[in-house]
Structure 1
Amino acid sequence: MAQLTQFLPYILMFVVIYFFMIMPQQKRIKKEKEFEASLKVGDKIVTKSGLHGKISEMAETTIVIETMSGKLKIERSSVSNELSAAANKK
């Protein structure tokens, strides 16, 4: 019993870290993956670096976006869920 009370603060600290840091991050990653899978040709997107464009071609891991200056080939993972959603609301 004495050993349990000795480790109880560490156990509680791990539980708090899990619920406030690890679990929300896992949800965010899952949401990003679902967004990447739902992309289709014709969608207007914004990359994490701030490039705006429209999807013109898609491959398994890359997409080609059409911007005002031409076409760019980028990784699917570089498309931002939050920025794209905000840009499409306008």
Structure 2
Amino acid sequence: MLISNAYAQAAGAAPDGMGGLVQLLPIMLMFVVLWFLMIRPQMKKAKEHKNMVDALAKGDEIVTQGGMAGRIVKIGENYLTVEVGTIKDQSVEIFIQKNAVANLLPKGTLKSL
């Protein structure tokens, strides 16, 4: 015969119940580290941004995510009307989504620009 017979080995030590838990421990540890280093701070930042957007009022000076600075003229449910400048004594107003506001500037910042 070209192929030899295969025989079963003798039974080794009985597996213990903690073996599976010990193998999963590194994966659980990586998830906990990922939670505290990435997910939790991102959730905190999103909550702060939502609170800032909810607190916007007419006359606040803002910077959009695109880098445009202006003063809020009108607030709607989902959109803002922002005055970004003047041309020939007429104000230039744009409409942006509320979520596009990146930062709230201190009062008087636009005059110093």
The alignment's TM-score, normalised by the length of structure 1, stands at 0.90
* Identity among equivalent pairs (%): 38
1:68 partnered with 2:85 = yes
Structure 2 residue matching 1:40: 3-state secondary structure: coil
Q: Flag structure 1 segments of 5+ consecutive residues without an equivalent.
A: none
Displacement, 1:88?
Answer: 2.2
Q: How does 1:27-66 map to 2 (within 5 A)?
A: 27-66=44-83
Greater C-alpha radius of gyration: 2
The Cα offsets for residues 26-72 of structure 1, whole Å up to 9 and x where unpaired, read as: 00000000000000000000001000100000100000000114000
Q: Which structure has more RCO (C-alpha within 8 Å, separation ≥ 6)?
A: 1
Structure 1 residue runs of 4+, over 6 Å off?
none
- Across the aligned residues of Structure 1 and Structure 2, the Cα RMSD in angstroms comes to 1.3
Answer 1 or 2: which has greater strand percent.
2
Displacement, 1:5?
Answer: 0.4
Q: Flag structure 2 segments of 5+ consecutive residues without an equivalent.
A: 1-17, 87-91
Matched length: 86
